[in-house]
Amino acid sequence: MEEWKKILDSAIQDSGNPDKEPRDLGRNRPDNPKIVLLLEALRNVSKKELPVDALFPEGIPTDEQFFERLHRLRISLGFGQPEVEIVAILASAAVEKLSIEERSLILLGIADDSSENLSLRLEVFPQLVRDHSWPLELLFKVFLTVNDKKYQGNNGYDRAVQALAESRPEQAFDLVKKLITPQSSEKNLGLAQYLLGLLRLNDKEVIQQKINDFDSHLMGAAVVQHRILYTRSLIPTTWARGLTEAVMAHLQSVYLSGEPEEQIAAFIVAAHLTWCPANTEVIFQSSVEWLEATVSETLPEECKLAVIVLIHNASFWAKGGYLEANLPRLADLWLKIIPVDSTNLKYWDGVDLALHDLIEKNQPAFQTIFIRLAEIEGKKLIDAISDSAAQQNRMLLYSLRQRDNTGLVQDLLLSKHRRARRVGVFLYDELDTPIINKDRLDSEEEERLLLLLLELRLHNVSGLGLARLLVSLLSQTERCSSDFKDELLEDLVLLGKDLPGTVLEFFGSLSNCSATLKSALDQINEYFDGLKASDGCPALKMTIPGYAKASELFAKRFSRQVSAAVEKNSIFAQLTSKMILLYALNHSSYQHGVLTAPQALEQISHSQESPRIGVIAPESQAFRRLIAKNWIHRIEKGDR
Amino acid sequence: MNDDLRTAFLTYYLQSLKERTRLEKGIIKNGLDWVAYSLGIANGFRPIRLPFFRNSGAELPKAKNEIEYGIDESFVVEGDKKLVIFVLKDERLTNGTWTNNDFEGDLRRAIAPDLSDPLLKDITTVEVVLIYNKDEDAGGVALFDRFVQNAPSKIRDVITLSITRWNLSRLVEQVSERLMNPNLLPSKYFSLFSYICAQFADFRHGSDQWENQLIPNWRAFLREVLAERSGERAVLMLPVALLILRELGKENPSSETGLIDLTEWAVLEAWSSALESGEPLALAAAHRLYGEFYLLQLERFYRAHGHVISKVHVLDQGGGGSFGVAQAANAIKALWHTARVGLLAFGYFQVLARRTTEEKAEHAKQAFEWAHLMIGLLNASPAADRPILDINHIELFLIWRTLQQVGKKADAGKWLANLEKNLFLRRIGQDHLIFVHTGLNLEPVWEYLASGEAPPEFDDTSSTLVVMLMMLCQTMAVPERDALLMLFWNELVLAHDGEGRPLKGKTPLHLMAWQPPKDWSKKILRESVGQEGECIVLNLFEIGSEPTTGAEIAEALERFVREVRAKRETALPEEIPASLVALACLKHQNPLPMEFWCSLIYPLKPQDDNGPVNEKNNPSS
């Protein structure tokens, strides 16, 4: 008997008894001569010569027993790549003996993730793909399942994809077509992209021909091409440009004549392709022209998002040249699609990123878009850029903090648009903006100042920030009506009562500069004198049954919420692990046989003044906001 | 509470005592002898002779059957060198009683004491004190003075003899000065009352301990005292007990409001007991306890502190960090005060005597003062406009009545409008504000506010409070009334916003009214009858025919009242002051019968319709 047969026979016999642990012939690998010899022989002999019957003496099963038997054999042979290949060759030989239906069952078994030997199944997958012809539907099903279950990282799976592309390119392309639809998942498009890359379509005409084959799946194909263009390593730049031109032309024609779903997909891809590293200025200009003619505020939401993504990418990559020069033009595209009125977080993530990139490259374009966005979609804009949103949505705010945005914030605060004022109040607070210039205030009509005053009543602005704004408005009391003065005085008094700590100190330092402020301070002091006089009053000493317990419960809940928020938002807490010392107020550690000196624990605390009036008179505060809202509404309607 | 009130009620009590503590037909009659004995002990005297055997615990001192020789009680003092002899009389000292009631005989016997007892061997001075707990006249005093002048100044030529008298005033003075402690009460109550005194001094008014420990003890004490049906004397003992509590608990910062709380329970128990006994003197004593003790106590309290608590936000300061929880606690506290001011104003007219024109004018003036204080409280404290439970309709009624009583209709209207606005904001549920809970128990409210989630027990879907407020609107000027009624209907009942759109997650309120059972007036002073009677569910309009004007709502409410009056007994009790019934409802968390306000709003006689609401319209006044 030939040597390889002896080795294989021994392994088959050794692994044949399910009750007996197989020996690991390959345990002395990496360079086990027996395995090397065996693999070499198997690669060269006909499948018919392989001892499949010895491996499956009771016939070839089509269920999990098939893989179980192979698994045992692999244990006997060893766990290296050559052993895997040996098993795969034997598996392929066994499959050859089966009917078409039986083969299908084996292939479907590969995608059974409930099996304990999934790894082995995936490892024999490439050999089965390479050696046998499979129905497209079956291949599609198995690849889709395996792909969807995130086995892409598995070596066997990757090799199966490669095997398909190499051994059956036509079928691989058909599979790509099936994988690519406008509804395809990212993972499936990724697989399609991978396959396309492996197909090495490097002839422009061939590619054009191939794309045309996609018919209704054109947009998906274009997405794939777009991805390829971004990862230029897969396709030479020279033909990528040609490809883009062809794709763009096709997309534009589909947009004009396709079904609504196709139109949307075509637009999205076209917007994506407008800029990419492989493009030329000519392609860019023609694409932008087409977009300019196409975009409007009635554009579907997905298409609008594509425009935002385009601006984000273009701003990000713009480093001089035609791209940077054309940023205002792209910004105009954005202006044309407002409002988006989207609740899609992806869109607002894109907005944050696009604005962040735009502000870096073109401040005027940024300012124009930002103000317009604030006017039309203020609340959503705040949500998108605020620190309280998802962590990735902090880019713009970060950029804004690095710059002097006084002009922008002033424009927003004094805007006639309510949403813009709201964004202004938000930014004023977040960016710690200086007070509004007197000259700027002087130039505004009283109505605009009143709108600002009312707007401030609707939002929670930090005490000192609000105090500074109100004080800056004091400079206008002489030229404004007594009504405005009264309203301002009311706000000053309320603020002083609400936050008597920092705010009163601030007011006190300025009391000589305005009679209105002095009057406010007098009222505030009288108020607190009244409260002080009640100290020790027996009428106030009673309590309410259940109150103590409820306060305790509330305090616990509040404390837990604060702790959770701190842990969530603290970078320090995220970088370090939490450990609770069981005893004592000093700590030390014993590591690598060394005991460190004891160290005292340090306490870190932060305190903040809490507004009073919201607790004391929540109804009147709510009513005040309601009144302010109505008043603003009336002013905006021209009925002050 | 000031000294004259204290003196008055000590006088009432001491005056009511018989000479001896005794058991009569199974009823304890507290006696002057116990007070005199306690005074002796309080003065540091060592008792030599007592008219009774002292017993421990709840047992009554047992009277001795022995010859007294005029000496009721004797004590030694000053290192056994002085003998003090008490001659007790529960009679007036007059010309007639001097001999008829044996003043002279007893004194003559008392100035010749038997000093043979070895205990008295060192005595150098004997002081005979005539103690009587009634008034005297000039004749009686003159006879006493002559007796003293003619009596020997020495016994056995070596022992100095002195004779003095403690009339009622002096006795009151002595008690007030030295005996304001549980010893003043009969020994039977010493243990429980001492415990109550300790709790009163220790627990904060309104705390869980207060409600769960002190109040049950206090009510048990009241019942024990009054259960013996000793009539007037038992009732008169209650203010004395309260005065002792006040004296011993004055270090407790919350003792003033706490004493008001305990007084209220005492008033209710006393009235209940007096009505049950049918004794005119007991009823008069209960009347006095309510009018002269409780109401004057309230008057003095608010005269002293009203100007402080009517300063802006003074009542709203508690628990700044606990938001909704503090807001609810402040509301309950503020409503406690508004209810007391309301009861004061309500009770003032009903209970306190108005004999002369000047007195009547003075009372009217004071009613205005209380109304102004009420307005001050409402203006100063947002919490006063924040009913937490449906049962808080009682406090709201008292606010309205205080204003209405003196014709402050405009203020009442503004208050109602403000209340509607606040309730609407709470109906929306904005800013963690919650609407009015229908139950009597605050527990679900606390849980809701503390946890942020409504427990299953929390319910805000029904209301008698809103029905009452809508009826109160009836006294406003028609245009304002109609406008406000529409707001009540749309915003509170239907839960629509200003644009007529339903509020998210809100359903229309179930409007309800409580009709008391027939025998409610007999029970209400002692317990809640809220679970008796009937709860009327109001469907003021047919489905699909919502009102379009306030006038329609006003008419529908009036129709409802007429229907109830026609088919149910609605009269308020005549034998109990209506303000006292309101107090009882407040204390027992019993809904107020709607006739309280209906009688003022919907006069029984049609011709009085739209007439001014005043005292004469009120059958309960």
Backbone angles phi, psi at B47, to 5 degrees: -65, 135
Q: Calculate what percentage of chain A has a pLDDT beyond 90.
A: 19
Q: Taking CB atoms and an 8 Å cut-off, how many pairs form between chains A and B?
A: 160
| Confidence (pLDDT) at B588 | 96
Q: For chain A, list residues whose CB is within 8 angstroms of any CB belonging to chain B.
A: 497, 527, 530-531, 533-534, 536-551, 553-555, 557-558, 610, 612, 614-623, 626
Number of H helices, E strands in chain A: 34, 4
Strand partners, B161: B126
- Whole-number Å distance between alpha carbons of A456 and A441: 16
The two tokens of residue A109 are 């078994």
Q: Look at A554 and B257 and tell me if their CB atoms are within 8 Å.
A: no
Q: Which of residues 433-462 of B touch A (CB under 8 A)?
A: 433, 442-443, 446-447, 449-452
Nearest residue in B to A547, CA atom: B329
Distance of CA B104 to the CA centre of its chain: 43
* Long-range residue pairs from A384-389, CB within 8 A, at least 24 positions apart, any chain: A384/A348, A384/A349, A384/A351, A384/A352, A385/A351, A385/A352, A385/A355, A386/A426, A386/A430, A387/A430, A389/A348
Backbone angles phi, psi at B190, to 5 degrees: -55, -50
Nearest one of A142, A38, A18 to A80, comparing CA atoms? A38
3-state secondary structure labels for all residues of A212-235: HHCHHHHHHHHHHHHHHHHCHHHC
For residue range A524-582, what is the model confidence (pLDDT) as tens digits?
Answer: 999 999 999 998 899 999 999 999 889 888 888 888 887 887 777 666 666 667 788 88
- Whole-number Å distance between alpha carbons of A534 and A106: 87
Q: Look at B447 and A543 and tell me if their CB atoms are within 8 Å.
A: no
Helical (H) or strand (E) element with A134: none
Amino acid present at B511? L
Q: pLDDT grade, residue B53 (50/70/90)?
A: low
| Tokens 């799976």 sit on residue | A157
Q: Look at A617 and B323 and tell me if their CB atoms are within 8 Å.
A: no
> Taking residues B145-158, what's their average pLDDT?
91
Residue A391 has pLDDT above 70, yes or no: no
CB A326 within 8 A of CB A319: no
| Confidence (pLDDT) at A234 | 46
Q: How far is A492 from chain B (nearest CA, A)?
A: 17
| Tokens 């010893």 sit on residue | B183
Nearest residue in B to A549, CA atom: B446
Amino acid present at B213? Q
Q: How far is A71 from chain B (nearest CA, A)?
A: 56
For residue range B382-399, what is the model confidence (pLDDT) as tens digits?
Answer: 999 999 999 999 999 999
Nearest one of A534, A533, A528 to A503, comparing CA atoms? A528
> Taking residues B146-161, what's their average pLDDT?
91
| Confidence (pLDDT) at A571 | 65
Backbone angles phi, psi at B566, to 5 degrees: -70, -30
- Whole-number Å distance between alpha carbons of A333 and A392: 25
With a CB cutoff of 8 Å and minimum separation 6, the contacts of B584 are: B268, B524, B525, B590
Interface test with A, best of B256, B311, B323 (most A CBs within 10 A): B311
Residue A260 has pLDDT above 70, yes or no: yes
Assign B275 to helix, strand or coil: helix
Q: How distant, in Å, are the alpha carbons of A288, A314, A638 from that of A265? A: 17, 20, 44
| Confidence (pLDDT) at A313 | 84
Nearest one of B536, B546, B450, B455 to B495, comparing CA atoms? B546
For residue range A22-66, what is the model confidence (pLDDT) as tens digits?
Answer: 665 545 555 577 888 888 888 888 888 888 888 888 899 988 888
Which positions in chain A touch B430 (Cβ < 8 Å)?
622
Chain A touched by B395 (CB under 8 Å): no
CB B157 within 8 A of CB B123: no
Assign B30 to helix, strand or coil: coil
Lowest mean per-residue pLDDT among A115-124, A537-546, B449-458, B555-564: A115-124
Which residue of A548, A612, A622 is in closest CB contact with B430?
A: A622
Q: How far is A536 from chain B (nearest CA, A)?
A: 8
CB hemisphere CA count around A446 (13 angstroms): 13
Amino acid present at A313? N
Interface test with A, best of B297, B322, B373, B423 (most A CBs within 10 A): B322
CB B283 within 8 A of CB B235: no
Backbone angles phi, psi at B408, to 5 degrees: -85, 65
| Confidence (pLDDT) at A587 | 87
Q: How far is B451 from chain A (nearest CA, A)?
A: 6
Local structure of residue B83 (DSSP, 8 states): E
Q: pLDDT grade, residue A116 (50/70/90)?
A: confident
Interface test with A, best of B314, B338, B377, B419 (most A CBs within 10 A): B314
The end-to-end CA distance of chain A, in Å, is 107
| Tokens 């206008």 sit on residue | A476
For residue range B295-323, what is the model confidence (pLDDT) as tens digits?
Answer: 999 999 999 999 999 999 999 987 655 67
Q: Within 10 Å of residue A590's Cβ, how many Cβ atoms?
A: 8
Q: Is A340 exposed, middle or buried (0-12, 13-18, 19+ CB in 10 A)?
A: buried
CB B143 within 8 A of CB B104: yes
Interface test with B, best of A494, A525, A541, A634 (most B CBs within 10 A): A541
CB A303 within 8 A of CB A271: yes
- Whole-number Å distance between alpha carbons of B527 and B546: 39
**How would you label A78-102 residue by residue, b for 16+ Cβ within 10 Å and e otherwise?**
bebebbbbbbbbbbbbbbeebeeee
> Taking residues A361-366, what's their average pLDDT?
87
Which positions in chain A touch B336 (Cβ < 8 Å)?
542
Within A111-236, residue ranges assigned H as helices are 118-131, 136-148, 155-167, 169-179, 186-199, 204-213, 218-230
ipTM, two decimals, is 0.85
Local structure of residue B136 (DSSP, 8 states): B
CB A426 within 8 A of CB A391: no
As a whole number, the mean pLDDT across chain B is 89
Local structure of residue B437 (DSSP, 8 states): B
Residue B194 has pLDDT above 70, yes or no: yes
- Whole-number Å distance between alpha carbons of A415 and A419: 9
| Confidence (pLDDT) at B594 | 93
Give me the helix-helix angle, A482-498 and A446-458, nearest 10°: 20
Q: Look at B314 and A551 and tell me if their CB atoms are within 8 Å.
A: no
Backbone angles phi, psi at B496, to 5 degrees: -105, 155
Q: Within 10 Å of residue B157's Cβ, how many Cβ atoms?
A: 7
CB B35 within 8 A of CB B179: yes
- Whole-number Å distance between alpha carbons of B509 and B56: 60
> Taking residues A313-341, what's their average pLDDT?
85
Strand partners, A576: none
Chain A touched by B321 (CB under 8 Å): yes
Residue A145 has pLDDT above 60, yes or no: yes
Q: pLDDT grade, residue A301 (50/70/90)?
A: confident
**How would you label A621-633 residue by residue, b for 16+ Cβ within 10 Å and e otherwise?**
bbbbbbebeebbe
Which positions in chain B touch A562 (Cβ < 8 Å)?
none
With a CB cutoff of 8 Å and minimum separation 6, the contacts of A117 are: A67, A68, A70, A71
Which positions in chain A touch B322 (Cβ < 8 Å)?
550-551, 554-555, 558
Q: How distant, in Å, are the alpha carbons of A360, B4, B275 from that of B352? A: 82, 17, 19
Nearest residue in B to A555, CA atom: B322
For residue range B324-348, what is the model confidence (pLDDT) as tens digits?
Answer: 899 999 999 999 999 999 999 998 8
CB A324 within 8 A of CB A362: yes
- Whole-number Å distance between alpha carbons of A284 and A627: 52
Assign B27 to helix, strand or coil: strand
Lowest mean per-residue pLDDT among A208-212, A517-521, B65-69, B204-208: A208-212
Lowest mean per-residue pLDDT among A604-618, B163-177, B466-480: A604-618
Assign A133 to helix, strand or coil: coil
Q: pLDDT grade, residue B456 (50/70/90)?
A: very high
Residue B225 has pLDDT above 60, yes or no: yes
